[in-house]
Structure 1
Amino acid sequence: MALIAEGRYEGRLAENDRTVTLRVSRREGGRLDNLSGDVFSTTAHILSFAGDLASLAEVTDADVSGRISGRVSFFSEGALARTGSRFTLVLSDETDDSAVGLTLNLGAGDVTVALSRTGPELRSLRVDVDGLDSLPTPQARIFEGDPAGKDLVSALKRASIAATVNVRPFQPYAAGASTPERLSMGELHSLMDAWSRPPTDIGQAWRVHVLFAGQYSGRGEADVSGVMYDVEPHRRPSRQGLAVFLNSTAIKACTPVNGDNWRREVLFTLVHEIGHALNLPHAFEDNRAQSLTWMNYPRDMPIGAAAFWNSFGESFDTPELAFLHHAPFSDIAPGQNDYAQRRSSFLSGGSNPMLKAKKTTPTIDPTTVKATLAVAPLKATYVFGEPVFLKLAVTNESRRKLSLAKALDPSDGFVSIRIETPLGKQRTLRPPAALCQRAPSMTLAPRKSVAFDGILASFDADGAIFDTPGRYRLQATFKGIDGVTLTSQPSFLRVLHPTRAEELVAISIWDDNALMRAIYCRQPLVALDSWQRLVEEKLRLLPDDGANTTKSYLRYVAALGWMERFAPAARAAAYRPNRRKALAHLRTVEPRDLPQGVSRRCGELLTKKR
């Protein structure tokens, strides 16, 4: 008998001119894996559906034409809308496996739509590539046409994604300006806006933008090989831009440029970041630290980097492939759900167990790990609008040494912090970018702790967090111990009711996405006009109050901004360092109730400049 072929199908509902797409995947040997699909109007995505794995059945009788039946779950507006709806999929002509008929209930009774096969790959993606002309240009074979299939198009094709890559000539950073060796988060944002602002109307045509830069300027610096942007939803949709740093430690160590090892490292970073743009987490975040996949770090594998490369099949692993093949449109499409926001449960973070893929067994017995996690604010009570910092600590409670990742900031990918507002709303702290860097491992002696108190939690990629007076509940998880997830006990903080001046200062920050980005990046020149209005018109309204750290922290941010050269792409000349202005700000900083790093950095800079 003829089986329904693996691939992507498309058709139209005649009564309302809606487009229906269908994806059918098969395992090795031809056995049915799963199916899924989407419904689009002429202007927008309407809903997605995915097969409930346990219910799927395929007729294999030689006398019956291809037929698949079972149940699907529907997702609308990114949320699970309905489960257990029956469907049937049959070949329209048993001599032609490219034409099928799909019958399912879209909400107003059963409808049948005729679908035609459009190709063997289940998804499609356009990749636009830019770079700085001061850097070595990667050979074309990194993107497409490598004889051994070690290129971007081939890597995505193995994940059933048909990729079109558009590589533009590398260009100067800005007209008349020299190219900075390192780019800060603010400069990367500026360059993205100037060169390739992502579209806001996301339909069936998926697109991501890749920027090749030198080094990252910020936490981790040379150890950061790549970054996937996850910026404010009100500024542009999420997960559409990423950067690869060709002068990062890992890539620069691979010589010669465009040699085998160099191309391998660049390609790995590129595919890894595109995986994030498609909403894949690191595999180690999903208890798959041993998995040979694009989404783990070869250098951090328990088997070692050499063994990883010898065994790596240049593929995503089984749970990742299930997600890439069948995740709902809002979970996976660039520009839709924010990073790590997934409703389908193919990977962690979802809410529909009927779709969950089988997980890999942890590599160690969790019962042998005796460690605790604690999260707490730096003080119990905050003034309205005051910068809120959290401290995270891991303690080894056993008599044995404990190996863990020294990565206690949420942007490292190992930490998740849940916050419950006074109104009962739950949200997860989401850094504006996911940095892909080598997380240093460390050994924690028995009865010892490691802590980090510099987690800025005042706002994140979704905006202000502590914007309502009252009591907030905090709880954290940490996945930096192989095979183990630590969960903290809840802690609490209270935000006081504001004075008029406090409310004006807070709102002036929260209503300006560029200003929040400048504070997060610790670079006021990202939003100079907004920053000057804040300082000159609003901040001086606040009285000098030792219990309110707002003035001190903003002065600290201003000092850091003026200490370094800053070169936004839209400006012909870079802002030069102004150390006199920076030191004037530093001398007014009172570091009490701020992170230890603020006090330490202030001391270093003031001592150095005397």
Structure 2
Amino acid sequence: MISGLYRGRNGDSEVELRVDLDGPRATGRVSGDLFARAGETLSYVGSFVVHAPERRGAVVGGTGAFTYPVTGRDVELGETELLLDGVRYPLEFASPYFRRVLLEIDSVVGAVPFVAYDTGSLPGPPGDPRVLGVTEAYAEAGVELVTGPPGVTPVDGSGADLAWDDAELHHAMTQAFTAFGDGAAWRVWLLVASKHVGGYRGIMFDYNDACQRQGAAVFHDAIKGDSPQAQRAQLRTYVHELGHAFNLLHSWQKNLATPPQPLGPDGGFGDLSWMNYVQNYRPGGERGYWAAFPFQFTDTELIHLRHGFYRDVAMGANAFGSGAAEIQPFEQPVEDHSGLRLEVRAKEWFGFGEPVVVELKLATAGEPRHTHSHLHPDTEFTQVSITQPSGRTVLYRPMMRHCVDHSLDVRLDAGNPAMYRSAYIGHGRDGHYFQQPGEYRVRAQYIAADGSRIVSPTCLVRVRYPVADADHKVAELMLGEEQGKLFSLLGSDSPTLSSGNAALDEVIDRYGGHPLATYARLVKGLNAEREFKHLEGSRLQIRPPDAQESITQLGAVVREGRVDNITLNLAMRRLARAEARKGDLDRAYAVLDDMVDTFAGKHLNAVVLRQIRRQAELTKAALSAES
């Protein structure tokens, strides 16, 4: 029996069987998915895999691992039939590929989709050069990507910067992806956009609901070019982001999967895989990676793509990575000679329903150290564990995670002893993490540029019990799922989040004097200050910024002064931009001068205050250039 996909049926029971015993990079496995047909509907029953099948005369068989209850675990495969749990399925060969996936590609005007790269164009490992596009790369892994002509989206509106943020991307997927649905299916949408507001090359952005991994994007401005180097980078970025849609984690994160997978060499950074970061490869960094990379997935990734259980691989099924499963709190390493120290800090207490924001600080422990700048947990070089009052420990998983496949080198020394990030960890892909009053214990782990895993001491986060009736009502309005998404996205115009926006409006209108109303104003003000892109059908429409609404809401946030320092810094800079957009450049400059004075009055250390002054001057220069 040749390798590939087979289909069989016995009554209302249907099976898709994957035979992987010969052919290129055969994994020596047999796996399948079982379905039940009722009328014109087909329902998923479960999956199985035989990891070490043996030949028994003319039959191949072995003990299977099943996701559903069976009376017998033996699986037998003959030339024309499958014996599975006592049921015989006549088989017909369906495809030389193990999976068949619809890939729908749309691009914005000016962003040209990648076509192909000749692997012999630049020096690399020994082997036969070949021309690879995205479909060919996945075909080598045994996955058939079925594509049509890319849709090209024109832009309605002028003055658009065409820089996309996470809220716009998710809204675009729900409107423009013709196969988008609330269920598991073999389909994925890829948007070729101009650029991301964070400067990223690509992102698999669909992490925020029960039907994840349906949408990815690549950003043309960051990877464009006709040179062999640019074409090679484009190929890797496209394959990498779509790999996440198949539920493949980054090479150094496989131990966070469910079930956990062993890390490869050097804590995963030694993997020669599409899923590693080029600049983090060890040994040798980018030069070493491209000198040895064979343009393929690793053996364990190949097993996942070909033989992972249906719901672990199919788009819209199981959540990305580890799910909401409990984890062990991060432990301090037995030895730590990294010269770096990580700290998580939070204010003394939070109100019930208040967005939980922590500050991350990475500092040198003495001698100068070089590392990367990706301290925020949305990049997943930093992970955060939360031990809830019940004793359950969960991993904070950001609603949107970003592939930062280029790193800004940072030197921490006496003149720049630490870097800081503010992180909203109250809501993520699993919903709200602080849903009841009590004491929470938060720890973080930062993966440094050399692979060192720096673990913070525990930070105690206290959530107070509500006291007055208004506390209960405001908490109710703040803790909805849509509201959590709006806090994660810093606002959105998406109709799918209209109930959340209505709840925040009610907080402002009915409970405007409550301390938590400042967070509703923050979200509404930040969203109003920016433009918002609506990808509707075949056209891109742009809602311009509402400067006056932003000034009203952010001005109140600044006056109230209840948010943390880093968030206040953001709010004041965005308020200045809103003033400039309204045409009052003098007022914009005054806001930035107030920002410097405000933080000077907080008696911050001299290094941080210098950075804030520098931010103010750079923002003034940018606003002057824009005006």
1:463 aligns with 2:431: yes
The correspondence of residues 33-432 of structure 1 with structure 2, limited to 5 A, is: 33-42=28-37, 43-51=42-50, 53=51, 56-59=52-55, 64-69=57-62, 71-76=63-68, 86-92=73-79, 99-103=80-84, 105=85, 110-133=86-109, 135-138=110-113, 140-141=115-116, 148-174=130-156, 180-196=161-177, 198-200=179-181, 202=183, 205-217=185-197, 221-222=198-199, 224-233=200-209, 237-248=211-222, 251-252=223-224, 255-256=225-226, 259-286=227-254, 287-302=267-282, 303-341=284-322, 367=335, 369-370=337-338, 374=342, 376=344, 378-394=346-362, 397=365, 402-432=369-399
1: CA distance between counterparts of 2:323 and 2:22? Answer: 24
1: CA distance between counterparts of 2:48 and 2:364? Answer: 45
Secondary structure of 1:35's counterpart equals strand
1:5-52 Cα shifts (integer Å, max 9, x gaps): 3222221233xx12222223247798762222211223322211223x
Partner amino acid, structure 1, of 2:271: S
When normalised by structure 2's length, the TM-score is: 0.76
1:503 aligns with 2:475: no
How far the C-alpha of 1:451 sits from its partner, in A, is 4.9
Secondary structure of 1:247's counterpart equals helix
1:18 aligns with 2:5: no
1:129-176 Cα shifts (integer Å, max 9, x gaps): 11112x143365579xx99331111100111111111233312145x6
Secondary structure of 1:230's counterpart equals coil
Match of 1:600 in 2: 569
Secondary structure of 1:41's counterpart equals strand
1:559, 1:586 within 8 Å by CA — same for their partners in 2? Answer: yes
- Which range is displaced more, 5-14 or 401-410? 401-410
Match of 2:490 in 1: 522
Partner amino acid, structure 1, of 2:289: F
Match of 2:508 in 1: 539
1:501, 1:541 within 8 Å by CA — same for their partners in 2? Answer: no
Flag the 1:497–1:112 CA change in 2: closer, same or farther, 3 A: same
How far the C-alpha of 1:474 sits from its partner, in A, is 2.5
**Aligned with residue 575 of structure 1, among 543, 547, 550:** 543
Match of 1:355 in 2: none
Flag the 1:573–1:412 CA change in 2: closer, same or farther, 3 A: closer
1:42-80 Cα shifts (integer Å, max 9, x gaps): 3322211223x4xx35238xxx324232x222225xxxx
2: CA distance between counterparts of 1:441 and 1:333? Answer: 37
1:378, 1:594 within 8 Å by CA — same for their partners in 2? Answer: no
Percentage identity across paired residues of the two chains: 24
Partner amino acid, structure 2, of 1:240: Q
How far the C-alpha of 1:214 sits from its partner, in A, is 0.5
1:246-298 Cα shifts (integer Å, max 9, x gaps): 012xx14xx33xx5333322221111110000111111334211222111222
Q: CA RMSD in A?
A: 3.6
Secondary structure of 1:588's counterpart equals helix
Aligned residues: 542
2: CA distance between counterparts of 1:85 and 1:380? Answer: 57
- The structure whose residues are more often helix, as a share, is 2
Secondary structure of 1:380's counterpart equals coil
Structure 2: gaps (5+ residues) = 122-128, 255-266, 328-332, 577-586, 591-627
Partner amino acid, structure 2, of 1:601: L
Partner amino acid, structure 1, of 2:521: R
Partner amino acid, structure 2, of 1:73: A
1:172, 1:179 within 8 Å by CA — same for their partners in 2? Answer: no
Secondary structure of 2:221's counterpart equals coil
Flag the 1:157–1:580 CA change in 2: closer, same or farther, 3 A: same
Partner amino acid, structure 2, of 1:330: R
Flag the 1:368–1:418 CA change in 2: closer, same or farther, 3 A: closer
Flag the 1:484–1:141 CA change in 2: closer, same or farther, 3 A: closer
2: CA distance between counterparts of 1:85 and 1:475? Answer: 44
1:370, 1:396 within 8 Å by CA — same for their partners in 2? Answer: no
2:107, 2:113 within 8 Å by CA — same for their partners in 1? Answer: no
How far the C-alpha of 1:572 sits from its partner, in A, is 8.0
Secondary structure of 2:543's counterpart equals coil
Secondary structure of 2:104's counterpart equals strand
Flag the 1:525–1:202 CA change in 2: closer, same or farther, 3 A: closer
How far the C-alpha of 1:391 sits from its partner, in A, is 2.7
Secondary structure of 2:557's counterpart equals coil
Secondary structure of 1:433's counterpart equals coil
Flag the 1:33–1:298 CA change in 2: closer, same or farther, 3 A: same
How far the C-alpha of 1:569 sits from its partner, in A, is 3.1
How far the C-alpha of 1:493 sits from its partner, in A, is 2.0
Partner amino acid, structure 2, of 1:37: G
Match of 1:6 in 2: 3
How far the C-alpha of 1:334 sits from its partner, in A, is 0.8
Flag the 1:377–1:24 CA change in 2: closer, same or farther, 3 A: farther
Match of 1:360 in 2: none
2: CA distance between counterparts of 1:600 and 1:324? Answer: 44
How far the C-alpha of 1:332 sits from its partner, in A, is 1.3
Flag the 1:529–1:30 CA change in 2: closer, same or farther, 3 A: closer
Partner amino acid, structure 1, of 2:65: S
Partner amino acid, structure 1, of 2:146: T
2: CA distance between counterparts of 1:191 and 1:575? Answer: 14
Flag the 1:8–1:608 CA change in 2: closer, same or farther, 3 A: same
1:566 aligns with 2:541: no
How far the C-alpha of 1:520 sits from its partner, in A, is 2.0
1:471, 1:493 within 8 Å by CA — same for their partners in 2? Answer: yes
Flag the 1:489–1:304 CA change in 2: closer, same or farther, 3 A: closer
1:526-558 Cα shifts (integer Å, max 9, x gaps): 46965764455323444746xx4x233333333
1: CA distance between counterparts of 2:27 and 2:243? Answer: 25
